[in-house]
Amino acid sequence: MPKSLSTIATTQYGISLIEVLIACSILAAVGMAFLLGLTTSYKSLMMNDQSTTMESLAKSALEDAKTQVYIGDNKCPSHQEYQYRGQVPAGYTVSTNATCIDESGMETAEDKGVQIVTVTVTYQGREKPFQISGYKLKSPD
């Protein structure tokens, strides 16, 4: 006589090896997905932090250049540099270049009392630098 379903269910003791392996593989897959998400989030956070630091340094350097004494006289060299006087974090470089421009915004060799100041900030691990530009006017004597 065939066994009833209730008899089969009550005669089974414990968990089979295949059930344990399936449960472990599901747990491993979920764990790997979680770790991959954490890694991606961490990389994104670090890139965001670097971008924010680069932008902040560039804005500070531009404002610092605007407060410094105007470099130039009647003849304007092709490029002048203003030195950033603030602290630069490790791994970052800040360069500030100024170019004389005329009323139409074109580069000129004659000093008209207006410079366009370009600040470039780079980080050792990034290919793309951050640049910002602004105008510096010669104060009247």
CB atoms within 10 A of CB 123: 19
Q: What is the pLDDT of residue 141?
A: 64
Does a structural domain hold residue 1?
no
Does a structural domain hold residue 6?
no
Does a structural domain hold residue 50?
yes
d(CA 68, CA 63): 9
From first to last of its 141 residues, the chain has per-residue pLDDT tens of 566 656 555 666 777 889 999 999 999 999 999 999 999 999 999 999 999 999 999 999 999 999 988 877 666 766 678 899 999 999 999 999 988 888 787 887 777 888 889 999 999 977 899 999 999 888 776
Judged by DSSP in three states, 130 sits in strand
Expressed as residue numbers, the domain containing 103 is 13-137
Contact, 82 vs 64, CB < 8 A?
yes
Does a structural domain hold residue 4?
no
pTM above 0.75, yes or no: no
- H or E element: which one contains 50? helix 17-67
Does a structural domain hold residue 116?
yes
Contact, 98 vs 65, CB < 8 A?
yes
Q: What is the pLDDT of residue 129?
A: 93
Does a structural domain hold residue 2?
no
**Number of domains observed in the structure of the chain:** 1
